[in-house]
Homo-oligomer: A and B are copies of this chain.
Amino acid sequence: MQADLRVPPQDGPDADLRADARHNRERILGAAREAFATRGLDVPMAAIARRAGVGVATLYRRFPSRESLVVEVFADQLTACASTVDDALADPDPWRGFTTAIEEICAMQLADRGFAAAFMTTFPTATDYEHTRAHAERRFAELVRRAKEAGRLRADFDPADLVLLLKAVCGVTVDAGEAAAASSRRLVAYLLQSFEAGHTAPLPPPPPLDLGHLHPAASH
């Protein structure tokens, strides 16, 4: 059971770090996870460092930019999101899969204030992060296609309407607290009902052009 103690116990981004450095790295990630969840993505770096019990320099040495920290923190949340969509695709009922996927994604957004922002931000340098997101988007589009084919989702629904919904929920959730959860649930319920097929009203405006539907991270 007892492996060689001298080899770094885990490989990854912190493969050949000194023991204390690796320890601090973990503490930073934990602190950042908490901070992003409760205070949003633009929490001061110093607050993260303080919560982690390290100096600011240590934080910046390990994660030169806020982006790199965000990518690292939300990597697994993103894969969790992707697997949620996968699970929804496994549902034999396309419409139920569609609705539960949306509801669960919104639940994630509600549980972690930074999640939606991280999800809607593009990090051109973080290739595997982008790959995971692209995968999730592709699977969601498939979910949409299936739900339309089954005749339960209106034909003029656009996969990009997911970010519309996420942004809308975000607007309802900015002032955290008791009301945020209820507001989010009610808004999602409203939107899901209008996503359902059977609406004859023309839904006038087409979705916005996509080239920047996720703002390029530099825009704040």
Contact = CB atoms under 8 A, between A and B. Distances in A.
Q: Which of A164, A189, A199 has the most CB of B within 10 A?
A: A164
Interface in A184-220: 185-187, 189-191, 193-195, 199, 201, 203-209, 212-213, 215, 219
A95 to B, nearest CB: 12
B185 A193 contact: no
Contacts of A212: 179
B179 A213 contact: yes
Contacts of A164: 172, 183, 186-187
A191 B189 contact: no
A193 B193 CA distance: 9
21 contacts: A161-B186, A164-B172, A164-B186, A167-B174, A167-B183, A168-B171, A168-B187, A169-B171, A171-B171, A171-B174, A175-B219, A182-B205, A182-B207, A186-B207, A186-B208, A189-B201, A189-B203, A189-B204, A189-B205, A190-B194, A194-B194
8 cross-chain pairs, A with B, having the tightest CB-CB distances, nearest first: A171-B171, A179-B208, A194-B194, A168-B168, A185-B205, A182-B208, A186-B205, A193-B194
Contacts of A195: 190
Given A164-B183, A167-B174, A179-B212, 17 more contacts: A167-B172, A167-B183, A168-B171, A168-B172, A171-B174, A175-B215, A179-B209, A179-B213, A183-B207, A183-B208, A186-B205, A186-B207, A189-B201, A190-B191, A190-B194, A190-B195, A194-B194
